Amino acid sequence: MIKENVSKLLNSQINKEFYSAYLYLEIANYYVEQGLDGFANWYNIQAQEERDHAMLFMKYMHNNGLKVTLEAIDCPTTVFNNTSEPLAEGLKHEQFVTESIHIIYDEAYNNKDFRTMQFLDWFVKEQGEEETNAETLIKKMELFGSDSKGLYMLDNELGARVYTAPSLVLD
């Protein structure tokens, strides 16, 4: 049985995942305003992934007879002054989400909640990929972003990204 402290953390993670989607939509809006539709596409897909992550946490809780309580989602308040700042904010946020998942995992471990630990294994791996992707994007922007042709090519590369649903299967 999943302990109340783990259940509360799982429920809180739902809100964090939905906030992540809001943040990435805000970043996508910023890039649309800058005329960088490829960057906007990349972050719109990020937002969809985060919504899916929230839904996976909800489904896990439902499948385990836990009550889900949806909370208010804060409005992102970050103001971006240049095209690199959203990328740094994205990495910082992914690191925050990683830490949050590690806290849930640690609490599940302390409670010998092996089912929740197994569920979270996918997210631990996913967060490693998310941080790597964010770091790579920052490096590419540092390398090519100051050159208009390089920025154009990077924007086109990001515009080619397509959405793929998470591969995590819940019983």
Could you read off the pLDDT of 112-128 as tens digits, one per residue?
999 999 999 999 999 99
Neighbours of 164 (CB within 10 A): 9
In this predicted structure, the answer to whether residue 47 has a pLDDT above a threshold of 90 is: yes
CA-CA distance, 141 to 157, in Å (whole number)? 12
Question: What pLDDT does 168 receive?
Answer: 66
Give the pLDDT band of residue 95 (cuts 50, 70, 90). very high
**Helices (H), ranges, 3-113:** 4-33, 37-63, 85-110
pTM metric for this prediction:
0.93
The DSSP symbol for 159 reads: H
Question: What pLDDT does 164 receive?
Answer: 87
